[in-house]
Amino acid sequence: MFSCIADFHRAWKEEVEDTLKVLEALPASALDQAVTPAHRDLRRLAQHLVESIVQLPAQMGLEIQGVEVGNLPGEIEGLRRAYGAVAHDLLRATAAWDEAELQKEDTMFGYLQWKRGQSLLALLVHQVHHRGQMTVLMRQAGLKVPEFYGPTKEQWAPMGLPEPVV
C-alpha cells in the first residue's frame, strides 16, 4: 500500500516507462498473438491496460482523461498514444492528493473496501501483471522482449556474461 503520494508517482513513472517499452516493441503483425482464441491477444491486453487506468481510478472518484474507454483504437500506434495519455493523466489526477487522501476508503469492484493507497498499488501491480503476460506472448511470437529489471536472455552474451541456466 502506498502511504506517500510521491512514492506512488515515482513508482508509477518507472512502471509506465517499462510498459511503454513493451508497447513500442510490438509490431502490428503480432497483435493477434494469444495463448488460445479464448484468451486475450496482445491487442486486447494493450487495450485492457488503458481501460484499467481509467476504470479503477474512477472508483476512487478520479476522472482520467485522454481516451473514451468504449472507443479504444485497435492499431498499435493509437494504443501507445492512448496508454501514454491515460498513464500521464493519472499523475495529474492524483497530484493534489496528500497522505490523508491515501487513507480514505472506497468500495472497489462493488464489494471490496480498499484504502486509496491500496487501490493505487493494485493498479500498479495489475499493469505489471499484464505486461508480464504480454512478454510471454511476445516470446511465443518470436519477438524480442525489452529489458526492465535486468538483462533479457539475449542480452547476457553480448555483455560477455554466461546466460542464466533455465
153 falls within a domain: yes
Helical axes 5-25 vs 76-94, angle rounded to 10° = 180
Q: Taking residues 125-147, what's their average pLDDT?
A: 96
Looking at residue 77, what is its pLDDT?
Answer: 96
* pLDDT bracket for residue 18 (50, 70, 90): very high
143 falls within a domain: yes
The residue segments making up the domain with residue 101 are 5-159
166 falls within a domain: no
Contact in structure between 19 and 127 (CB atoms under 8 Å): yes
151 falls within a domain: yes
Of 149, 145, 151, give the one whose Cα is nearest residue 164.
151
Q: What is the pLDDT of residues 110-134, one digit of tens each?
A: 999 999 999 999 999 999 999 999 9
The answer, yes or no, to whether residue 166 has pLDDT greater than 80, is no
Q: What is the pLDDT of residues 76-121, one digit of tens each?
A: 999 999 999 999 999 999 999 999 999 999 999 999 999 999 999 9
164 falls within a domain: no
Cα 21 from Cα 131, distance rounded (Å)? 10
Structurally, the chain folds into a number of domains equal to: 1
In angstroms, how far is the first alpha carbon of the chain from the final one?
33
Looking at residue 26, what is its pLDDT?
Answer: 96
165 falls within a domain: no
Other C-beta atoms lying within 10 Å of the C-beta of residue 76 = 19
125 falls within a domain: yes
Q: What is the pLDDT of residues 37-72, one digit of tens each?
A: 999 999 999 999 999 999 999 999 999 998 988 899
Check which CATH number belongs to the domain holding 144 and give it: 1.20.120.450
Contact in structure between 104 and 110 (CB atoms under 8 Å): no
Q: What are phi and psi of 37, to 5 degrees?
A: -60, -20
102 falls within a domain: yes
Half-sphere exposure of 38 (CA within 13 A, CB side): 0
Looking at residue 123, what is its pLDDT?
Answer: 98
Check residue 143 and report its DSSP letter: P
Other C-beta atoms lying within 10 Å of the C-beta of residue 93 = 18
